[in-house]
Structure 1
Amino acid sequence: MTAEPRMLDTSPAPSMGASEKTLRVLEAATQHSRFTDIVEETGLAKATVHRILATLVEQGFVSGDSERGYQPGARFLSIAGSAISRLDISSIAEPIVDELVREVDCTVHVGVENGAEMVYVIRRDSSKPYRMGSRVGLSIPMHCSGMGKAVLAAWSPEQVDRLIDQVGLPARTENTITDPARLHEELARVRERGYSLDLGENERGTVCVSAPISDHLGRVRYGLSISSIALEHPGSSIEAFAPQAIAAADAISRALGAPVAR
């Protein structure tokens, strides 16, 4: 017996469910305090937003009212704090880093700011026969490393000057920037183009292109670098990988909960 032919479902797509509406309002209330802005952000009817906000306030996920404005409530902040405390950039970034290594076939690092230095937290090697001298846990100066300059570019000039006063700009190679004025000029270029370069400044014969990674508060605390040897990528040719470095760093930032630019 042949089966009845299945009819094409031409019914309209289901409308937004109650759960999705609630999540939209909750998200909007964490970003906007004014009721009218929350309504605009969600695209829902005023009566619907008002009803959902009342429930969220009652349950402690949101606090405030339409006159005083809304903000995240104690219950929401408790959940957010627990989630943030469990964040591990290594486990979050590893899949993105592994995909980047397959794409560019270079060594990829992720590092975190630690005072005046960057500390490697991830290193993934390429298929090439050579190996970089880096290792997880190794600290490197900020002023002469690609990752460090990517982080320093987010600092104010005054913060950079305080760092220089504290630790100086020691030369690691003949290419290290040791003049404060030159470092400020370099950081201005990093801010303008969105990535930094290390062309033998930290270690002779090695080059890298780096991009900044932001945390859940939008602070640039991490950096990602695509690294190689100068023999394979002479001059500034490693710069060709800048788009891939930026894309991967942005993906990690989003995975860490960094605010999305609007």
Structure 2
Amino acid sequence: MDKPLKTPPPYPIASVDHALRAATILQMEGGATVAQLAERLDVARSTAHRVLAMLVYRDFAVRGEDRVYRAGPVLELAAHSQSLVSRLRTAALHHLHRVVDLLDETTNLIVRTGDTVRFIASVECRQSLRVGNREGMVFPAHRTTTGLLMLAELSDEELEEVYAAERYRDRPADRPDLPRLRTELKRLRRNGFAVNKERSERGLVAVGVPVRDQGGTALAGLSVSMLGVRYDPQRLRPLVATLEAAAQALGREFGSPPPENPKAAPRR
């Protein structure tokens, strides 16, 4: 049976429609210049430029040195199974709240896709000066604690694929130094945790551990973020122990089958 034709909403918002169509073009067709997008959307170049600028700001697009706009980290992360991410986030929330109760610092759950990571859950602490909610934000994987830990799971060949030089033709400065990165990842494999001192944001320190399923595969990363002035290296070991306990509990819980519904059980 054929699907019925879509009926436009009674009060369409042109700017939203332009942005959604532009994002679809970048994701499905590989990229476009301002002029090309203006022609496709049938708008002025100035309008197309504003639409693209907003997509870049929200990580839906990136602008290359050749002035071509391409799909950004958020659209690349769409390849993640939404059901997996949704279930992982749901399972993690009470563990994040528990860590915040124990450490009183903002706690996050992060997944990796390619060379970027995305914060899929974030619970703020209660302190007046604190790291804000990071949910939905995208960062380069090699500049975050949990991103580094998940990169450490890769073989040398897989790491080469993630950071293949041709992927960075338009942004060579964004490609990390691979020999130096491999050395760092080797150390992180031994430690089992990572510390980020102002690597992604000035004045911020983060500590992270991997979240593994019952088979040992790293599903995500669990991190705590704090202002640098509150970071005390003497507290690092107990802080890591708290994160590891939460990550292990989440890994066990996420890998377990859902409990049976007693109401659905057959009567004997």
Q: Is the 8 A contact 2:212 2:251 kept in 1?
A: yes
The answer as to whether partners of 2:123 and 2:133 remain within 8 angstroms in 1 is: no
- 1:1-262 alignment runs, 5 A limit: 88-165=87-164, 166-167=167-168, 170=173, 178-215=176-213, 218-233=216-231, 236=233, 239-240=236-237, 241-257=239-255
Larger Rg: 1
Distance 1:206 1:253, change over 3 A: same
The offset of 1:87, in angstroms, is 6.5
For the Cα contact (< 8 Å) 2:117–2:140, is it kept in 1? yes
* Superposed displacement of residue 120, structure 1: 0.6
With structure 2 as the length reference, what TM-score do the two structures score?
Answer: 0.57
C-alpha distance in structure 1 between counterparts of 2:235 and 2:119, whole Å:
20
> What stretches of structure 1 of length at least 5 have no aligned partner?
1-83, 172-176
Contact 2:106 2:125 in 1 (8 A): yes
Which residue number corresponds to residue 40 of structure 2? none
Q: Cα deviation per residue 1:192-231 (whole Å; 9 max; x = unaligned)?
A: 1111111111111111110111246543131010110111
Quote the Cα distance in structure 2 between the aligned partners of 1:200 and 1:90.
26
Cα distance in 2 for partners of 1:155, 1:162 equals: 10
Where does structure 2 lack aligned partners over 5 or more consecutive residues? 1-82, 257-268
Give the aligned residue type for 1:224: L
Q: Is the 8 A contact 1:197 1:207 kept in 2?
A: yes
2 CA distance for matches of 1:203 and 1:238?
21
Letter in 1 for 2:197: L
The answer for the alignment partner of 1:56 in structure 2 is: none
Cα distance between partner residues in 2 of 1:85 and 1:204: 32
Note if contact 2:194-2:209 (Cα within 8 Å) is conserved in structure 1: yes
The structure-2 alpha-carbon separation of the partners of 1:194 and 1:122, relative to structure 1 and needing over 3 Å to count, comes to same
Identity in percent: 25
Q: Which has the higher helix share?
A: 2
Residues in 2 aligned to 1:253 and 1:189: alpha-carbon distance in whole angstroms: 23
State how far apart, in whole Å, the 2-side matches of 1:217 and 1:141 are: 27
Aligned partner of 1:123: which letter? S
Cα gap change, 1:246 to 1:85, in 2 (>3 Å): closer
Distance 1:87 1:203, change over 3 A: closer
Amino acid in the other structure paired with 1:200: E
Cα 1:85–1:244 shift into 2, 3 Å? closer
Distance 1:222 1:188 in 2: 19
RMSD of aligned Cα (Å): 2.6
CA distance in 2, matches of 1:133, 1:190: 26
The verdict on how the C-alpha distance between 1:169 and 1:178 changes in structure 2, with shifts beyond 3 A counting, is farther
Deviations 1:103-157 (A, max 9, x none): 0111100011122211111111112112325521111111010010111111112
Separation (CA, whole Å) in 1 of partners of 2:180 and 2:105: 29
For the structure 1 residues 133 and 97, does the alpha-carbon distance in structure 2 shift closer, same or farther, using more than 3 Å as the test?
Answer: closer
Cα 1:102–1:85 change in 2 (3 A) is closer
Give the residue type in structure 1 aligned to 2:157: E
Cα distance in 2 between the residues matched to 1:150 and 1:113: 10
